């Protein structure tokens, strides 16, 4: 489920300028997107996830079409990516908006350390997957008490959402469950072998590792977490109600879930010409990105402007406001 579109470009400009404090009149145009030769590192996520796949496709585009060189690095996910971005170890980071919001405000995993970050674009959405074994006795998040649950890799966006969902359900993650900090690959292996009862995963649709699991095992089921969306929205407006379509994973019926947008992040001092070039490449080559992974079908210039509460980098904004 995608957020409602604001179809008028003028409205989008107003929203960005008002909500993010952007001064559009003071920005300089970067129509030529002339970028000096430089190597960029893109922080992605677990190798079985959509960040990793899309990041690889993005690096190929950059290497083939610009004087910039690019490579990707596998990471724990959103929190890890932002921490590396703040440290100057990487240049571009995939992130969930809720984690980026925490970094901007110096809260949550970034307590006391505000990050000076900007967004190149809003890209695809992440859907919260909660999968359990049929024989686990789990039908709600509350039922996870006393169970062994993968909450995602350490420093991942999945871990942030998992802990918030558990707390929204009245559980203490460090006391009421046996939390396992596992990568997606490790998670799938452990649930198949019976070492864990269930797992959380926040990813685009479809996530290949989850698709393979559901295709090969019929003793797994998804948990409906829609009853917790109101409590989650008290923490961040990034959380919205969504649906995992039945056909995505060969389910008998749709499953209601919680959706969070993704953004591409850079440090605020990232060169405007580079920001312009990357944003232009992504949106002018949407068809190729979709061939890399179908989650890229969500790429849309108008929605890409909606990066609130993270300010949109001015170099990228100029490109997104162009008429295709």
- What string of DSSP letters covers 69-87? EEEEE--S-HHHHHHHHHH
Beta-carbon contacts of 228 under 8 Å, excluding residues fewer than 6 positions away, are 141, 165, 168, 169, 258
Can you give the pLDDT at residue 14? 36
Residue 305 · residue 320 · CB < 8 Å: yes
- Judge contact between 65 and 116, C-beta under 8 A: no
Query: Nearest to residue 264, comparing CAs of 109, 82, 83?
Result: 82
**Domain map of the chain by residue range?**
9-126+261-320, 128-260
How far is residue 145's CA from residue 160's CA, in Å, rounded to a whole number? 18
Q: Say whether 128-260 and 9-126+261-320 share the same fold.
A: yes
* Beta strands 92-96 and 240-244, pairing class: unpaired
Superfamily in which the 9-126+261-320 domain is placed by CATH: Periplasmic binding protein-like II (3.40.190.10)
Radius of gyration over every alpha carbon of the chain, rounded to an integer in angstroms: 19
Tokens standing for residue 107: 């809260």
What's the pTM value of the predicted model, to 2 decimals?
0.88
pLDDT value at residue 9 = 34
Architecture label for domain 128-260: 3-Layer(aba) Sandwich (3.40)
Q: What confidence score (pLDDT) does residue 5 get?
A: 33
pLDDT per residue rounded down to tens, the chain (324 residues): 333 333 333 333 333 333 333 333 334 444 467 767 789 999 999 998 999 999 999 999 999 998 889 999 999 999 999 999 999 999 999 999 999 999 999 999 999 999 999 999 999 999 999 999 999 999 999 999 999 999 999 999 999 999 999 999 999 999 999 999 999 999 999 999 999 999 999 999 999 999 999 999 999 999 999 999 999 999 999 999 999 999 999 999 999 999 999 999 999 999 999 999 999 999 999 999 999 999 999 999 999 999 999 999 999 998 899 866
């Amino acid at each position: 489920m995608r957020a409602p579109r604001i179809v008028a470009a003028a409205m989008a400009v107003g929203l960005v300028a008002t909500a993010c404090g952007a001064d559009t009149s003071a920005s300089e145009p970067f129509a030529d997107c002339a970028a000096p030769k430089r190597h960029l590192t893109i922080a992605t996520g677990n190798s079985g996830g959509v960040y990793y796949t899309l990041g690889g496709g993005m690096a190929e585009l950059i290497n083939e079409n610009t004087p910039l060189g690019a490579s990707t690095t596998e990471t724990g996910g959103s929190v890890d990516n932002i921490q590396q971005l703040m440290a100057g170890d990487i240049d571009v980071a995939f992130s969930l908006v809720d984690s980026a919001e925490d970094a901007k405000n110096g809260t949550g995993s970034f307590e006391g350390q505000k990050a000076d970050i900007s967004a190149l674009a809003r890209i695809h959405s992440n859907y919260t997957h909660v999968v359990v074994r049929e024989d686990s006795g789990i039908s709600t998040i509350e039922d996870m008490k006393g169970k062994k649950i993968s909450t995602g890799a350490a420093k991942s966006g999945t871990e942030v959402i998992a802990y918030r969902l558990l707390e929204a359900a009245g559980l203490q993650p460090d006391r009421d469950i046996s939390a396992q900090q596992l990568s997606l690959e490790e998670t799938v292996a452990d649930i198949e072998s019976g070492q864990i009862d269930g797992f959380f995963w926040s990813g685009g649709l479809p996530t290949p590792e989850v698709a393979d699991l559901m295709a090969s095992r019929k003793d797994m089921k998804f948990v409906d977490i829609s009853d917790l969306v109101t409590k989650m929205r008290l923490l961040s407006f990034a959380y919205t109600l969504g649906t995992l379509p039945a056909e995505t994973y060969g389910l008998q019926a749709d499953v209601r879930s919680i959706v969070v947008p993704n953004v591409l992040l850079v440090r605020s001092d990232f060169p405007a010409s580079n920001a312009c070039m990357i944003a232009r490449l992504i949106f002018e080559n949407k068809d190729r990105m979709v061939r890399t992974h179908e989650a890229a079908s969500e790429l849309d210039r108008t929605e890409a402007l909606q990066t609130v509460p993270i300010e949109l980098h001015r170099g990228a904004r100029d490109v997104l406001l162009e008429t295709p």
